[in-house]
Amino acid sequence: MADAATATRFVTRPADGRRIAFEVLGPAHGFPVFLLHGTPGSRLGPRPRGIVLHRLGVRLITYDRPGYGESERVRDRDVAHATQDVRAIADELGLDRFAVAGRSGGGPHALACAADSELGDRITRVAALVSLAPAGAPGWFDGMNGDNNQQFARAVSDPGELESEIRRRADGISTDPDFLLRLLTEQMTVADRRVVSDAAMRRQLRLSYRDAIKNGPYGWIDDLLALRRDWGFDLGSITVPVRVWHGGEDTFAPAVHSEYLAGQIGGSAELDVRPGAAHFDAMPELPRTLRWLAARPTLARS
């Protein structure tokens, strides 16, 4: 069975001449699913091995959000901006129907695609794993670990200080690929430490973090600011089937965030809060999510 190309590819948006980097993995005739990376992250972030994608029948598409990896920066972007990049890549690949998944900071960007009227009937299903809720949702900081609490608070109260801190962290990653993993491990639950203790998982995370900041910390900074601003779309407008998954012990983006999202999306949302799981459990959960996304690729709109 032939694989789709795995080398980095580029698409240039005619509207603004901006370059977007993406990769395509898995069987060439598999059902296309976009996977939107976390914060920070890149197109090289954790994803199932090729043999798993073959078994699932999934053609996986990953890309760098603006300012990350090889994609050019867009200043002052909002979450809804992600729809422009997904649409450009889908057009480049000639995709009529596809699904979208987002993990962690990618979750809100995946939901933006579900709400986008210009993508219309092209999107079949959407999944958001360990996603954040919009700023202003009740209990937004409840249960969040100290480091994430501080960074997201700075995004509103002191963006300059936030930028200085993210630059420091990006410099740390450039010097030592394990820098961010060590910092995150200090905030992890036992469940998260169990997941990232896997050597292959750690290699994927190191690769993703280092590639994310190779041309600067701008994607990371812009993500944090966008996630704390108005997202630029209405969750209540989503009508495609959505699966919202969360680990019940998550302290990076507590499960109350997904509970809020599912409530705002309404009847099209299926909520799964998994007891005993945490933030990084979204990675081993991904194959099951991809199976759901690739099933029955027909649109069900009310």
Short-list 155, 163, 162, CA closest to 225: 155
3-class SS string, 62-91: EECCCCCCCCCCCCCCCHHHHHHHHHHHHH
The reply to whether 4 falls in a domain is no
Short-list 204, 278, 243, CA closest to 48: 204
The reply to whether 2 falls in a domain is no
Entry pTM? 0.95
Q: How far apart are CA 203 and CA 207, in angstroms?
A: 6
The reply to whether 1 falls in a domain is no
What pLDDT score does 267 carry? Answer: 85
| Domain ranges, residue 229 | 9-294
The reply to whether 119 falls in a domain is yes
Phi-psi region of 40 (alpha: psi -120 to 50; beta: other; left: phi over 0): beta
Short-list 50, 47, 43, CA closest to 11: 43
Ranges of the chain whose pLDDT falls below 50? 1-2, 4-5, 297-302
Per-residue pLDDT tens over the stretch 159-212:
999 999 999 999 999 999 999 999 999 999 999 999 999 999 999 999 999 999
The reply to whether 41 falls in a domain is yes
The reply to whether 79 falls in a domain is yes
The reply to whether 29 falls in a domain is yes
Per-residue pLDDT tens over the stretch 40-62:
999 999 999 999 999 999 999 99
The reply to whether 290 falls in a domain is yes
Count of domains in the chain?
A: 1
CATH number at residue 275: 3.40.50.1820
